[in-house]
Amino acid sequence: MTGPIRLYMSMSLDGFITGPNDREGHGLGDNGGRLFNWLDDRMSTGPSGQVFRELMATGAVIAGRRTFELADRWQGDHHDGVPVHVLTHHADDGDVPPGNTRFFTDVVACATEARAAAGDRAVMVHGAGAAQALLRAGQLDELEIHLVPVLLGAGRRLFEATDARHIELQLVRRLEDRDVTHLRYRVLRFA
Amino acid sequence: MSRLILYMAMSLDGFITGPGDDKGNPAGVGGMRLQEWLGDGGPEVADFRPSDAQSQIVFDEMLSTGAVITGRRTGDFVDYWGGDHHDGVPIFVPTHTAPADNRHARVHFVTEGIEACVEQAKAAAGDRDVMLHGAYTAQECLKAGLLDVLEIQLMPVLLGQGRLLFEGLPPEHIELDLVRTLEAPGVLHLRYEVRRG
């Protein structure tokens, strides 16, 4: 029994995951930190604490190259030294990422390796690019959206317009806490 | 005190229609997926009443509003619901130019701006709330600080393309308070109040 590949993202009601002008050294964009106020409760015994503990119990990480670089490569360790699988269009031969990190140019290979590494634990996905690539490849199993009650107005969207195929979801869990609604969706199928 | 309440069904990726919405297909390609929280429909608006008790709460509230505001685009697409959205309450349409021939006695085109439009709708609604429908008009009301409540029917689907509900808003954050969540099979009803100041 392998665990699911699950996206974890904080998103405003209007669909943004950063403020505008996100760049190196400014990864959340202008005032994008608003989306992460719920993390103030990450050590609590309430729902936000539970979600954070689940996130930290994942057995592998998949991230897009952009997210990986904006996060300064997590200095090679996202949490507990679990393997980090980075999706990229191109990896330079001489560019050896730090720690337990590997570059992948093939989405399915990336997902397969991450599942194997995580064993019966879930794989955590972070970043819009990785999420889109995995969705398109049919490799994303679940979405854990931390829906924040704010309209950011501008920034980077989690879901950019893609091909017109519908993807059906099922809401399998809803946890409400201060300043956030944690919505867990299972990816059902392409309609 | 009458409040302005937006009622919109939205996919998790933020769309309120599929791609290619036009007069012949107001919901866009595949966009009818977003209306599946409603009943099967028929000649009367009551035929759209959902079977689920939680969804009925939202539907009944929507149909107890005392006036409707809709955008010109949405309104033209659906011919202003034949001039009667529900119970014969007046329908107000903010627009730059009123059409030369208005066939509907209860449809009022307001050319004096969005604020005047909301003011007239609230006056007509009396102590009842005003229902708002349409993305562009919702954005205009948000920008003008006129929207009181958002009632979102969040549908568990990624449409991938279509018309976004939230677009072109200023980068100043608009803070919301989640005041009610109703969960029904196939839809999550999220009610937000717009925070002032």
Per-residue pLDDT of A46-103, as tens digits, reads 999 999 999 999 999 999 999 999 888 998 899 999 999 999 999 888 888 888 999 9
In this prediction, residues B159-165 reach a mean pLDDT of: 95
Task: Select the residue of A150, A157, A174 nearest B175 (Cβ to Cβ).
Answer: A150
Interface membership of B170 toward A (CB under 8 Å): yes
The mean of the pLDDT values for chain B is 95
Confidence category of residue B197, pLDDT binned at 50, 70, 90:
low
Nearest Cα residue to A17 out of B9, B14, B72? B14
C-beta neighbour count of A19 within 10 angstroms: 23
- The answer to whether residue B22 scores a pLDDT higher than 70 is yes
pLDDT digits 0-9 by tens, B114-151: 999 999 999 999 999 999 999 999 999 999 999 999 99
C-alpha distance from B183 to closest chain A C-alpha (Å): 9
Confidence category of residue A190, pLDDT binned at 50, 70, 90:
low
Percent of chain B whose pLDDT exceeds 90: 88
Tokens of B23: 């007069």
CA pair distance A121, B150, nearest whole angstrom:
38
Confidence category of residue B97, pLDDT binned at 50, 70, 90:
very high
Instruction: Please count the CA atoms within 13 angstroms of the CA of A67 that sit on its side-chain side.
Output: 23
Tokens of A68: 């990986």
Confidence category of residue A164, pLDDT binned at 50, 70, 90:
low
Single-letter amino acid code for the residue at A25: G
In this prediction, residues A139-159 reach a mean pLDDT of: 97
- The answer to whether residue A163 scores a pLDDT higher than 80 is no
Task: Select the residue of A15, A168, A185 nearest B166 (Cβ to Cβ).
Answer: A15
pLDDT digits 0-9 by tens, B61-76: 999 999 999 999 999 9
Single-letter amino acid code for the residue at B185: P
pLDDT digits 0-9 by tens, A90-139: 988 888 888 899 999 999 999 999 999 999 999 999 999 999 999 999 99
Task: Select the residue of B29, B172, B173 nearest A164 (Cβ to Cβ).
Answer: B29
Are B156 and A171 within 8 A, CB to CB?
Answer: yes
- The answer to whether residue B91 scores a pLDDT higher than 90 is yes
> Which chain A residues contact residue B33 at CB under 8 A?
166, 191
| Nearest chain B residue to A168, by CA | B157
- The answer to whether residue A191 scores a pLDDT higher than 70 is no
In this prediction, residues A147-164 reach a mean pLDDT of: 90
Are B183 and A174 within 8 A, CB to CB?
Answer: yes
Provide the 3-class DSSP secondary structure of residue B178.
strand
Task: Select the residue of A15, A20, A167 nearest B157 (Cβ to Cβ).
Answer: A167
CA pair distance A86, B149, nearest whole angstrom:
41
C-alpha distance from A93 to closest chain B C-alpha (Å): 35
Query: Measuring CA to CA, how many Å separate B147 from each of B18, B25, B108, B131, B164?
Result: 25, 28, 20, 10, 18
Pinpoint the alpha helices (H) of A64-188: 65-70, 107-118, 128-136
Contact B118, A126 (CB under 8 A): no
Higher per-residue pLDDT: A2 or B89: B89
Interface membership of B188 toward A (CB under 8 Å): yes
Interface membership of B54 toward A (CB under 8 Å): no
Contact A167, B157 (CB under 8 A): yes
CA pair distance A186, A141, nearest whole angstrom:
6
Confidence category of residue B42, pLDDT binned at 50, 70, 90:
confident
Whole-structure pTM value: 0.95
Are A153 and B170 within 8 A, CB to CB?
Answer: yes
Place of tokens 């140019």: A105
* Residues facing residue B176 across a β-bridge: B194
Would you say the C-alpha torsion A175, A181, A184, A190 has a positive or negative sign? positive
Q: How far apart are the first and last CA of chain A?
A: 26
Q: Would you state the pLDDT for residue A93?
A: 85
> Which chain B residues contact residue A174 at CB under 8 A?
181, 183, 188
Contact A142, A186 (CB under 8 A): yes
Single-letter amino acid code for the residue at A71: A
C-alpha distance from B130 to closest chain A C-alpha (Å): 22
Q: What DSSP state is assigned to residue B113? A: -
Q: Would you state the pLDDT for residue B43?
A: 85
C-alpha distance from A111 to closest chain B C-alpha (Å): 21
C-alpha distance from A165 to closest chain B C-alpha (Å): 6
Q: Would you state the pLDDT for residue A167?
A: 94
